[in-house]
Structure formats: structure tokens, C-alpha cells
Amino acid sequence: MKTNHLDLDSLTGYIYYTLDDATREGIDVHLLNCPTCRGRLTEQELKQRKISEELNAVIRQATPSNRMSFAAISNRLQIRHPFRLFWGRLVLSTPLALAGVGLLLAVLGLWQFLEVRTLSTPSQQLGTFPTLACFLFMLASVEEFDKTFSIRSRFIITILVAGILWLGSVFIGLLNIIVIRDLAILATVAFGGKAVEAGPVAILAVMVAAMFYIGVVIGGAEYHYRNVGQPNSWKLFSITLLVQLFILILPYLIL
Amino acid sequence: MANLEVLIERWRAGDERAAEAIYNLHRDRTFRLAFALLGNTEDAEEAAQDALAYALLNIVHFDEKRSQFTTWLYMITVSRSRDVLRKRRVSSFSLTEWLRSHRSPFDPHPGPEQKAEISEMRHTIWDAVQSLNPMLREAIVLRHWGGHTYQEIAEIVGCPMKTAQSRVRLAHQKLAQTLSETDLQQIAEETL
């Protein structure tokens, strides 16, 4: 300790109180016995105080122009009138409402598929609920594009919307696999294959789709977790949902 | 501070004069924070106006038990300043914008007296702060200019307290690296 002088990192940490107690005490002991480091510490403190003073002087000197006045924003504050306040809150909660209704429709779609299996065309068994749900999810993600997540009041709404969109895309993804399976069967028959051959083709299609699905679900979850509330996260949701919507309406386009 | 609480209550009840008073109380400091983060008057005014308007509009969401009004307002200002920086990054290159963004805050119309007053060193320090990564700049500005505690800095910029501490320390080390030995020597001499 006597020969090893303190480095800049330790000195800066000491000045800014960012070191833990043990390290700080160690430095205190060293400083008691080392005039060189005491001198360097004083010098650093003075430099940093000077930097602080000069920075403050520049910032204090800055003054806003006359354009920056209360009158310039008073129009925006009219939103506090009861009707506008109601409208503002409605707009704020629109993505959440869209996503919530979408999730309900997706669950209904899945339930309908499991319960009602009487329609002749397999993919049409899915009905319109999932398609509508996917469309609502997309609207919700697009709605969120320009919202600022850093504002605390939006934290809960943003996290809820992102969570519902992820869950919704997981549901829709399952339905997408069903559609892909059906399309594989139809394609095999349409290209002259026998009904017996359609089975293995369908299994292969489901396996490929399932692998892709798992990748998207896990990768997407990690990406959205890291970027929740950021424009890129909403963009990825929109792209994913657009692809899912396309797969859902594919049977209607083909058949 | 009790006065501010009364004003907030009055504004919540719909008294627009209270909103104006809150605005006037915080106008300059909000602007200066944005100015320190963005480096030019025009962008700082835009960010500060947005922040003040947002804060006043959403006063119902402000929870005085959780934080001080200024901490909440600065959190919004930092957020708005980040938005401006983001926009600046994605907007296409413009020579006039570039010149404006590299203009020193003293440039607009400095008179002879002002010119004499402002030391070269002040320019150097300001440029060094502006060249810092935005996250480090936020930390050092809030620490030095705002005089905020690490806990408050963490709350304002939305990070853990340890991260706020590291950012302040790292910002200072970067500043020391950016400012040449000669600059630092000059600072030391002027100080001693």
C-alpha cells in the first residue's frame, strides 16, 4: 500500500462517494501515510470542483427565448376540460383495450376450434375470431409506436400491452401451425398426391412450423423483454402479427 | 415547497392560474436541464416545453408520496430530451443543422464584453461535456448542475443507483481523458 499509489479510478470514486465502505476505509488508511496521494487527491478535487463550477456557469448563463411561455402551451392544457380529459384517457387506454379484446377473441377462436369441428373445410374451422384478434393486436402495436415509455404513468399500460401482444402472438402462432398443416394436406391432394401421402407431409409441415414457432416465441420474448416500450419492439410485434395475419387469411385467399 | 403543493392542488382542481404559476416556477430550470443535455437553445426549448406541458396535463398521475415534483418533472425532461436526440439521429443530414449543433452556446450574438468574460477554458469544458455519451452526460449534469443525490439521479434517468454512481464516475474519467493535459493544467492553475 505504501509503494502502490492510488489510481485515478480510486481517486474519482473516493471523491464521488461511489466506493463501498471497505474500499473507502482502505483508501483513508493509505492517504494517512501517503503524502503523494494526498496531494493528488487534493489536485483532483480542485480540478473536479473547477469543472463543476464552469459547467454550472455555462448552464446558468443559458436563458430561454420569449417563445417559451405559458401562453404557448395553454392551448394544449385545454385538454383538461371534462370531455377532452375523457377523450385523452380514452386515447391513452386504446392500445390496452384493443389488445385486451384481441386476446379475448384469440382465446374464443382457439376454444371454437377445439369445440366446433363440423365445418367441411379444415382451415375454416378457425372462424373469423383469430383473424379479427390478429388485426386488433396489430392496431394496438401500431398505436404504441410514438408513445414514450420513460414516463412513469405509462409504465403499467406499456408493460400490459406488450405482455398481451406477446401472449396473443403465441396463441395466433398455434393457430398458424394448424393452418399450415391444413394447407400442406390440401396442397398434397391438389398436386395429385393420395390422401395417405398427405399424412407424412402434414407432419413434416407441422414440425418445420413448430420449430420456427418455438424460435420466434423464445427469441421474441427475450427481445421484447430487453426492448419493452421501444419503437423497435412495437415494430417487431407489428411485423410478426402481419405475417401471422397473412397466414390466417391464406386459406380464404386460396380456397 | 408547501406553496408548490398548494399550487398543484389548485391546478388539479382546474385553476389555470395555478398551472401558469407552476410553469413559471419551473420554466428556467427545466429549460437549463434540457439545454445541458441537448447543447442548443432551440432543441432545449422544444424539449422543455413538451416536458412542462406533459407534466401539467398529467398532474393527476403525479404521486407526491413517491417523489418530489421536480424529480418527476426532470424525469419527463430527460425523457423528452432523449426523444429529441433520437429524432436528431434519424433525421437526414443538414449542413445548417450540423453547424447549429456544433455551435457553442455562447455563439448567438456575443457582445465584446461577453466575449471577454467567457474564458476559453469554459468553452473547452462545455465541448467536452457535450461530446460525452448522452447517458454519461445526463448523470454528470444532474450531479453537478442539479446537485441531485445518486438515488435521485437513478430515479430521474431510470436506472439502478449503482449504475448512476458508475455513470458519474465514468463521465468524470472520460472528461479527464477528453480534456488535454494542458487544459487540466490550466484548470489547476486557475484554481490554485
Q: What is the mean pLDDT of chain B?
A: 79
Instruction: Write the Ramachandran bin of A68: left for phi over 0, alpha for psi from -120 to 50, otherwise beta.
Output: beta
Can you tell me the distance from the alpha carbon of B51 to that of B47, in angstroms, rounded to the nearest whole number?
6
Is a pLDDT exceeding 60 seen at residue B117?
Answer: no
CA distance A202 to A182: 7
pLDDT in tens, B87-96: 776 554 444 4
Distance (Å, rounded) from C-alpha A53 to C-alpha A157? 41
Using DSSP's 3-state secondary structure scheme, residue A57 falls into helix
Q: Any idea what DSSP says for residue B61?
A: G
Task: State whether ipTM is beyond 0.85.
Answer: no
Judging contacts by C-beta atoms under 8 Å, the chain B residues touching residue A51 are 125, 144, 172, 175, 179, 187
Q: In terms of pLDDT, which residue wins out, B78 or A227?
A: B78
Q: What is the pLDDT of residues B24-41, one digit of tens each?
A: 999 999 999 999 999 888
Q: What is the pLDDT of residues A71-95, one digit of tens each?
A: 888 877 765 556 656 666 666 678 8
Q: Is A228 left (phi over 0), alpha (psi -120 to 50) or beta?
A: beta
Query: If we measure between CA atoms, which residue out of B33, B49, B43, B135 comes closest to residue B97?
Result: B43
Three cell numbers, residue A44: 483532483
**Spatial separation of the C-alpha atoms in residues B127 and B103, rounded to whole Å:** 10
What is the C-alpha to C-alpha distance for residues B38 and A62, in angstroms, rounded to an integer? 12
What pLDDT score was predicted for residue A190? 81
- Which has more pLDDT, A113 or B59? B59
Q: Show residues of chain B in contact with A48, CB under 8 Å.
A: 172
Nearest CB among A59, A62, A73 relative to B53 is that of A73
Closest among B9, B11, B45 to B30, alpha carbons compared: B45
Nearest CB to A9: which of B20, B143, B173?
A: B173
Query: Considering only A192-201, B8-17, B32-41, which range has the smallest mean pLDDT?
Result: A192-201
- Distance between CA atoms of A33 and A162, rounded to whole angstroms? 57
Residues A173-180 have a mean pLDDT of 88
Window from A98-107, A136-145, B144-153 with minimum mean pLDDT = A136-145
Give tens-digit pLDDT for A14-56: 888 888 888 888 889 998 889 999 998 888 888 888 888 888 8
Distance CA A170, CA A130 (A): 12
Q: Do A62 and B41 touch (CB under 8 A)?
A: yes
